[in-house]
Structures are given as structure tokens and as C-alpha cells.
Amino acid sequence: MDILKALARAAELVTLLRRDDKKALNYIYHNQAKHFKAKRKSDRIQKVTDKNMILFEAEFGRLEFSSKNASKLKQDKYLLARESPRIVKAMIQYYQHRNISSPLLVRITNTKFYHFF
């Protein structure tokens, strides 16, 4: 989850949080999400990082968007899935080049997540 949170905050993955997207994103956030799930009924998607976490949830959980903006959300999800491996590799190379020991780096290199890329 730490890896996904770091990716969700990456400047390269900043997309617009369109008003029309919020309904579909909030539906998944409240009803279908398993890992990044709303704690209270009043919780809402408000930031781009929240949107990215829901897009990760939709990608890994094979969840579908049901809204008139589904195609735009699918494009955003595709961008996230396409760019994430490159960003993870860059993070690893940066940490290794600077000889930075990080719990995140240890997690990336010791899990199957790293080998996925």
C-alpha cells in the first residue's frame, strides 16, 4: 500500500479531478473498494491522490466504472497503469544511486511488486 500511495502522489500521474468523475469514483470508494475504502459514509473523493488510489483499486480489482464519463476514467486508469512501472524503476535507481536506505525501497525490492515491472 505504501508503494501505491507514493505513486498516487507522483507529479507525473497528476490528472484532472473532474466534477463528473466524482460520482463514479465515490461509488467505488464506498461500495466496491477493498483496500482504499471509505471509513465513513460522509467521506468523499476530494484530491487527485484519492482519485489515483481508486484508479489503482479499479485496475487491480478489475472494477468497472458506470457513468457517462467511464471512457475518461478508463483513459486515466490506463495512463496510471502505463506510467507506474517507469516511476517505480526511477525511484529504485534514485535510491540506489544516492545510497539511500528506505523502508519503501526495501519493500519494493523484496516483493513481487518489483518483479511485476
Q: Cα 22 from chain centroid?
A: 15
All 3 cell numbers of residue 23?
460520482
Q: What is the pLDDT of residues 60-116, one digit of tens each?
A: 888 888 777 788 899 999 888 888 888 888 877 887 787 777 676 666 666 655 544
What gap in Å lies between CA 28 and CA 49, rounded to an integer?
Answer: 15
Q: What is the pLDDT of residues 15-71, one digit of tens each?
A: 778 888 888 898 888 988 888 887 888 889 988 999 999 998 888 888 888 777 788
pLDDT score at 117: 47
User: In 3D, which of 62, 5, 1, 54 has the Cα closest to residue 29?
Assistant: 54
Integer CA distances (angstroms), 17 to 26, 72, 87, 100, in order:
12, 11, 21, 33
Q: Which pTM does this prediction carry?
A: 0.75
20 HSE (CA, 13 A, CB side):
9
DSSP 32: I
All 3 cell numbers of residue 24?
463514479
Domain limits, the chain: 2-116
Q: Which fold has domain 2-116?
A: Sec63 N-terminal domain-like fold (1.10.3380)
